[in-house]
């Protein structure tokens, strides 16, 4: 059997399978189409340098957009009063969710105003 070293078929696959191939931020379902599955990535819930950053329990399935939405999340964590220690993975997702959703909404607004009716 082939050894897969890429994200979708290799190292991230156990995380995607655990999360039922669903983006934990927007709910896009990677089982619904090949193209949607191709959009899946994974998201670290903890900042670089944290002892649990690479623990699969603290990594979730995210589509490529949600994974990069608010890409300054960790840089701005202190200013925003966010904390990471002592939170469960679900609490960490909930903490990040408003920032991801705000970015998604700003892109939706742009799309509706400038792309949808073209």
Residues 35-60 pLDDT 10s: 999 999 999 999 999 999 999 999 99
Q: Report the percent of the chain where pLDDT is more than 90.
A: 90
Residue 108 within any structural domain of the chain:
yes
Please give the model's pTM, rounded to 2 decimal places. Answer: 0.91
Residue 23 lies in a domain: yes
Is 44 inside a domain boundary?
yes
CB 37 within 8 A of CB 18: no
Side-chain-side CA neighbours of 18 within 13 Å: the count stands at 15
Residues 65, 33: contact at Cβ < 8 Å? no
Where in the sequence is the domain holding 42, given as residue range(s)? 13-114
pLDDT at residue 1, as a whole number: 58
Number of domains in the chain: 1
| Residue 5 falls inside a structural domain | no
4 in a structural domain = no
Asked whether residue 82 carries a pLDDT value surpassing 70, the answer given is yes
Whether residue 30 contacts residue 1, with contact meaning beta carbons closer than 8 Å, is answered with: no
């Amino acid at each position: 059997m082939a050894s897969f070293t890429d994200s979708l078929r290799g190292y991230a696959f156990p995380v995607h399978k655990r999360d039922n191939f669903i983006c934990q931020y927007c709910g896009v379902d990677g089982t619904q189409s090949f193209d949607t599955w191709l959009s899946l990535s994974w998201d670290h819930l903890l900042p670089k340098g944290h002892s649990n950053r690479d623990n699969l329990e603290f990594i979730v399935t995210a589509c490529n957009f949600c994974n990069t939405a608010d890409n300054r999340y960790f840089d701005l964590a202190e200013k925003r009063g966010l904390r990471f220690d002592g939170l469960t993975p679900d609490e960490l997702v909930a903490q990040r969710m408003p920032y991801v959703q705000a970015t998604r909404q700003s892109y939706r607004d742009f799309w509706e105003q400038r792309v949808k009716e073209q």
